[in-house]
Amino acid sequence: MPHLFTPYTLKGVTLRNRIAMSPMTMFRSTDGKLDDFHLMYLGARAAGGFGLVFAEQIAITPDGRTTTHCAGLYDDDQIEGHKRVVDMIKSMGGVAAIQLGHTGRKGSRVTPWEGGTRMLPPEHEAGWQTRAPSAIAYGGRLPYVPRELTTDEIAQIIQDYADTTRRAVEAGYEWVEIHSANGYLASEFFSPLANQRTDQYGGSLENRTRFHLEALDAVRNVLPDYIPLTMRLGIDDLHPDGVTVDESITAIGWMKEHGLDLADVALGFNADMVQSDIHTSALGGMVKNATRVRTEVGIPVATSYNLGQPELANRVIEEDLLDLVYLGRPALANAHWPVYAARLLGYQDPFSLVPEDWAWWLRRSRGADEAIGWPAATNGAALRDVAGVAAAAPVIEENPISEELAEQWPAESASDGL
Ligand SMILES: Cc1cc2nc3c(=O)[nH]c(=O)nc-3n(C[C@H](O)[C@H](O)[C@H](O)COP(=O)(O)O)c2cc1C
C-alpha cells in the first residue's frame, strides 16, 4: 500500500515522496527575477524533505503578474535566477516545479500587506491595463475593467506559454503546471462568469476549454517527453452561473487527450464573495472532488487546502484518494514538514529526508528527543500534542464534505478533529 513517503513516478520523473510544496506567491521579486530570498526559502524546503517544490505562480508576460513585485520567466534575463534555485532544489534531493501563470483581470494589484487584494488603476505607475477574455471587471476590491483580448493576442499568449516553457526547461525545471484556478486568466477563459465571448473561445464548454487545449499543445510541443505536464484547475466556481464540477470533469477528459498528466484540483474564484469556506477551511475539504476527478477521468490527481495534519495527509494517500498532497501554509510554517510528519507518523529514519551530513548528527539524538526540540517518537500522543492546529480548525461535523471523508477514518481520529 502506498503512503506519504512512497516514491512517485510520473512520466520519467520520480519524486522521493508524495509531498509537494504548493505554489505560493511571495511578492519579493525585482524585475520579475528569483533572487537570494527564493534560493534560501525554496532551498530550505527541499532540504526539509519536500519531494516536489513549486516556487510560485511564474508569469508568462509582464502583465501576467499579480503585482510588479511578482516573479516571471518572460525574459531570457530571468533564466539565471530560476536556474540557481532549481539547482539548489535538485542538490537537496527535490524536484523543481514551475507554475506557469497569467493573472488576467486579477493583475495590477498591490502587495497583500499594502492593502489586501486591492487593485491599482491602469494609470498608476505600478499598475497596468489588465487583459482578459471579456471586458468584465471581477468586482469588489478589483473594480477596474480589463480590455478584451483579440484573437491575435490570444495566439500570442499561447506562444508565450511555449516560450516560457522553453526557458523553464533551460533553467532545469522537471515538472510544469499551467495555472487555471483562482480566477486567473486561464480560469477566466473556463468560467462563464468571466468569459462572455461570442467567438470560438466563449460560450459552449468546448469553446471555453479551447484556450486550455491550445496551451497544453503548445507547452507539450516544447517540453521533453519525460517531463510531466499538469494543470491546477478551478473545477468549481461555487456560483450558480459559474463552472461546475461535472463540466470540469468532462473538460479534464479532453485535456488528458492533449497531454495532461495530472490534475491539481482547485477552485475557480471567478466571482467576488463566493461561498468557498466549506472547501477551503475544512480539513481535507477538496479531497472528495479531487477523488471524483481521479476516478471518473482516470487521471492522477493532487489537491491542496488543509491537508497539513500528518495523519490526514498520509491517509489520503493510503486510502488511494490522491496521488500527491500539495501543502501551502504548512510549508510556509515548517520548512521541515516532511521530516516532522515522518517522525509523528512513526516512519523509520525520518532524518533520511534531510541532507546526509545533517542526518548523521540528528540520528545520534536517539533517546534524547527533547534535546533537539523534537517530538516524542510514538505517534499517538505526539500527534495530539501538535494537533493544536486541528483544535482551531472548523469541526468536521459542520462540513458535509469532510463528514464523508471522516466516515473513512476511524472514529477515534475523527473525534480528534481530523
Ligand atoms: C501566501 C500564499 C500565496 C499563494 N500563491 C499561490 C500561487 O502563486 N499560485 C497558486 O496556485 N496558489 C497560490 N496559493 C494557494 C496555495 O498554493 C494553496 O493552494 C492554498 O494555500 C491551500 O493550501 P494550504 O491549506 O495547504 O495552505 C497561495 C497561498 C498562500 C498562503
Is residue 284 in contact with ligand 1, taking CB distance under 6 Å? no
Residue 409 has pLDDT above 50, yes or no: no
Q: What is the pLDDT of residues 38-97, one digit of tens each?
A: 999 999 999 999 999 999 999 999 999 999 999 999 999 999 999 999 999 999 999 999
Residue 400 has pLDDT above 50, yes or no: no
Name the active-site residue from 184, 305, 340, 347: 184
pTM: 0.90
Residue nearest to atom 25 of ligand 1 (CA): 305
Is residue 17 in contact with ligand 1, taking CB distance under 6 Å? no
Q: What is the pLDDT of residues 118-148, one digit of tens each?
A: 999 999 999 999 999 999 999 999 999 999 9
pLDDT at residue 392, as a whole number: 36
pLDDT band at 413 (very low <50, low <70, confident <90, very high): very low
pLDDT at residue 26, as a whole number: 97
Residue 184 is a catalytic residue: yes
Percent of the chain with pLDDT over 70: 85
Question: Domain 8-340 classified CATH 3.20.20.70?
Answer: yes
Q: How far is the CA of 391 from the centre of ligand 1 (A)?
A: 22
Q: Which of 381, 412, 397, 410 is nearest to 283 (CA)?
A: 397
pLDDT band at 1 (very low <50, low <70, confident <90, very high): confident
pLDDT at residue 11, as a whole number: 98
Domain spans, the chain: 8-340, 343-415
Candidate of 19, 21, 24 to mutate for ligand 1, largest count of ligand atoms within 8 Å of Cβ: 24
Q: Do 12 and 24 form a contact (C-beta atoms < 8 A)?
A: no
Average pLDDT over residues 238-263: 97
Average pLDDT over residues 197-204: 98
